[in-house]
């Protein structure tokens, strides 16, 4: 919950990417194996979800605001570089494997993405957003403007997602509350952030650490906590010093300053965007078309294989389809990263080298 616009943009200096803090599995295959009933239980839930996804109209009781193709586009945009099953499993876990409730949650999340123009936010980049929403860059630099805070929230969350590499699926967020006062409290932003974390990005938050909150925040927490889903509420931890903080976040992921007492000596510095860095968004349309066509081909192949899998009765006859489907799901990540420079403006985290393609990360 953003405590202060002054700190919000800086809270993601270097998002700490963690595994599930509860110690549970995170990859689709691991989650399947850990469920009551094992892989068969998770596979059954996914198959029921697949049945409701066909043909992108999940259930008659929903009132749809958009066309099937718009939901389809929004879904694949949401998947990004994840395995599609990972995305669906987020919603199934969030709704305790109730397929109807998970599908309703997914549809509402996709409608939110369309309404909030999430793809537009990540494609236009910081300069264009600053023109459309005055104060956007000021928010990234110093946090002095609140005019673009919702777009900033989306921008930061979507940027943090780029740093997730399998099998890691969750992020850690640290809020510096050391200079908090009531004048910093932004209720609309808090409500927006709570809604996004619970309903639009389920199972993305691993832990949210509220560091060095003053006594007055206790009264605010009594108001906020009943608004939260119990699962989200359990992920919020309060710390007051370095020893408590390092229980949740590695010190080399936090800035070396009075607030965090971390080990990262590189100070937060906003590097201005350069137009030439986003040239792939408008130049080389043929390369862009090839990259997007390849991505679309993989999406349609995955949908087709999911339909085949969903329609098969015997597990023995599904083995080959399941294997091929898994391989295509993995290749989808490759096609997304190939298309990413054509559909997404470079961020400050691209410019400082914090965002890398999967092959650029060191092997564990």
Residue recorded with tokens 């961020």: 347
- Is position 350 within any domain? no
Output the pLDDT for position 12.
32
List of residues 6+ apart from 38 with CB closer than 8 A: 32
Q: Residue 152 is part of a domain; what is its CATH number?
A: 3.40.525.10
Which of residues 94, 115, 136 is at a domain's end?
115
Same domain (yes/no): 215, 322: no
Same domain, 54 and 183: no
Kindly state whether residues 15 and 146 are assigned to the same domain: yes
Instruction: Output the domain CATH number for residue 104.
Output: 1.10.8
> Using CA atoms, how far apart are residues 263 and 246, in angstroms rounded to an integer?
11
Which residues neighbour 29 within 8 Å (Cβ) at sequence distance 6 or greater? 39
How do the pLDDT tens digits run along the chain, 364 residues long? 333 322 223 333 333 333 333 334 444 444 344 443 445 566 666 667 666 555 444 455 667 889 889 999 999 999 999 999 999 999 999 999 998 899 999 999 999 999 999 998 888 877 666 666 665 556 555 554 555 678 888 988 999 999 888 888 999 999 888 888 887 787 878 888 888 999 999 999 999 999 999 988 888 899 889 988 899 999 999 999 999 999 999 999 888 877 778 888 887 778 887 766 677 676 788 999 999 999 999 999 999 999 888 887 766 667 888 899 999 999 999 999 999 988 898 888 888 888 887 766 654 4
Q: Domain for residue 270, yes or no? A: no
What is the predicted pLDDT for the residue at 135?
Answer: 58
Please, are residues 126 and 278 in contact by the beta-carbon 8 Å criterion?
no
Give the structural domain span for 107.
Answer: 28-36+43-115
The verdict on 111 and 124 lying in the same domain is no
Can you tell me the distance from the alpha carbon of 131 to that of 42, in angstroms, rounded to the nearest whole number?
A: 46
Is 142 domain-assigned?
A: yes
> 99 with 126, same domain?
no
Angle, CA 13 vertex, CA 81 and CA 174 arms, to 5°: 95
Q: Is residue 267 part of a domain?
A: no
Specify if 96 maps to a domain.
yes
Q: Are both 10 and 150 inside the same structural domain? A: yes
Residue 264 placed within a domain:
no
Give the model's pLDDT for residue 237: 94
Assigned domain for 164 exists: yes
Q: What was the pLDDT predicted at 30?
A: 44
Q: Please identify, among 74, 98, 115, the residue that sits at the C-terminal boundary of a domain.
A: 115
Domain assignment present for 188: yes
Same domain, 286 and 325: yes
Total domains in the fold of the chain: 3
Distance of CA 257 to the CA centre of its chain: 27
Are 127 and 231 part of one and the same domain?
yes
Instruction: Note the pTM of the prediction, 2 decimals.
Output: 0.77
Same-domain check for residues 137 and 103: no
> Does residue 74 sit in the same domain as residue 218?
no
- 226 — alpha (psi -120 to 50), left (phi > 0) or beta? alpha
- Do 109 and 209 have their domain in common? no
Shared-domain flag, residues 143 and 87? no
Whole-number pLDDT of residue 14: 33
Domain stops at, among 83, 115, 147? 115
């Amino acid at each position: 919950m953003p405590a202060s616009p002054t700190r919000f943009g800086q809270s993601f200096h270097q998002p700490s990417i963690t595994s599930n803090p509860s110690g549970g599995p995170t990859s689709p295959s691991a989650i399947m194996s850990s469920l009551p009933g094992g892989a068969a239980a998770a596979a059954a839930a996914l198959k029921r979800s697949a049945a409701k996804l066909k043909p992108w109209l999940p259930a008659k009781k929903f009132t749809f605001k958009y066309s099937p193709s718009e939901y389809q586009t929004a879904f694949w945009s949401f998947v990004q570089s994840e395995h599609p099953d990972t995305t669906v499993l987020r919603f199934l876990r969030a709704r305790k494997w109730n397929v109807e409730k998970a599908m309703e949650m997914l549809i509402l999340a996709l409608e939110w993405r369309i309404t909030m123009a999430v793809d537009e936010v990540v494609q236009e980049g910081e300069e264009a957003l600053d023109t459309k929403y005055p104060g956007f860059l000021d928010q990234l630099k110093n946090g002095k403007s609140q005019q673009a805070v919702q777009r900033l929230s989306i921008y930061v969350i979507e940027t943090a997602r780029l740093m997730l590499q399998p099998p890691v699926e969750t992020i850690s967020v640290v809020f510096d509350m050391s200079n908090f006062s009531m004048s910093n409290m932004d209720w609309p932003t808090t409500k927006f952030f709570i809604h996004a974390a619970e309903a639009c990005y389920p199972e993305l938050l691993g832990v949210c650490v509220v560091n060095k909150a003053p006594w007055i925040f206790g009264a605010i927490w009594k108001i906020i906590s009943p608004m939260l889903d119990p699962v989200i509420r359990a992920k919020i931890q309060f710390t007051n010093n370095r020893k408590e903080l390092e229980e949740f976040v590695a010190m080399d992921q936090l800035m070396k300053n009075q607030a965090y007492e971390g080990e990262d000596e590189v100070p937060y510095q906003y590097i201005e965007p350069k137009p030439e860095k986003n040239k792939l968004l408008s130049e080389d349309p043929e390369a862009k078309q090839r990259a997007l066509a390849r991505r679309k081909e993989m999406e349609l192949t995955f949908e087709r294989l999911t339909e085949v899998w969903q329609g098969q009765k015997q597990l023995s006859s599904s083995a080959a389809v399941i294997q091929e489907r898994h391989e295509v799901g993995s290749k989808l990540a490759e096609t997304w990263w190939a298309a990413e420079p054509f559909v997404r403006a470079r961020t400050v985290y691209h410019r400082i080298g914090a965002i890398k393609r999967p092959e650029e990360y060191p092997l564990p």
